[in-house]
Amino acid sequence: MEIQTYNIKNFLLPESSRSMSCYHAKVMEDGIMKLTMHDCKRSIQLKNDLNNPEEITEAIDKLKSLADGINNLIVFIKENYVK
């Protein structure tokens, strides 16, 4: 079976001269998944070994939970701060 890799980098505000916020999503040849998010001087990284079935489930659950949290925050901001 051919090893599948993934490597996407993107600035969150590409047109902004004030923001260097970005993410880097990667699945390497050894099956390690890393999602790194940077904002100014801070960063966080989610990491899982996709060779382990339990960690595959963990990775999916982490990513879904993060996506849900982001979507809920968007709704909150729109409802309470967008005029």
Q: pLDDT at position 25, please? A: 98
Task: Name the DSSP class of 5.
Answer: -
Residue 41 predicted with pLDDT over 90: no
Higher-scoring residue by pLDDT: 73, 17: 73
In the chain, the percentage of residues whose pLDDT exceeds 70 is 99
Mean pLDDT rounded to a whole number for the chain: 96
C-alpha angle 70-75-79 in degrees, rounded to nearest 5:
150
Q: pLDDT at position 1, please? A: 65
Mean pLDDT, residues 43-54: 97
> What does the alpha-carbon distance between residue 44 and residue 13 come to, in Å, rounded to a whole number?
18
Report the side by side order of strands in the sheet with 6-11: 6-11, 22-27, 32-39, 42-49
Q: Using a cut of 0.85, tell me whether the model's pTM lies above it.
A: yes
Residue entry with tokens 């904002």: 39
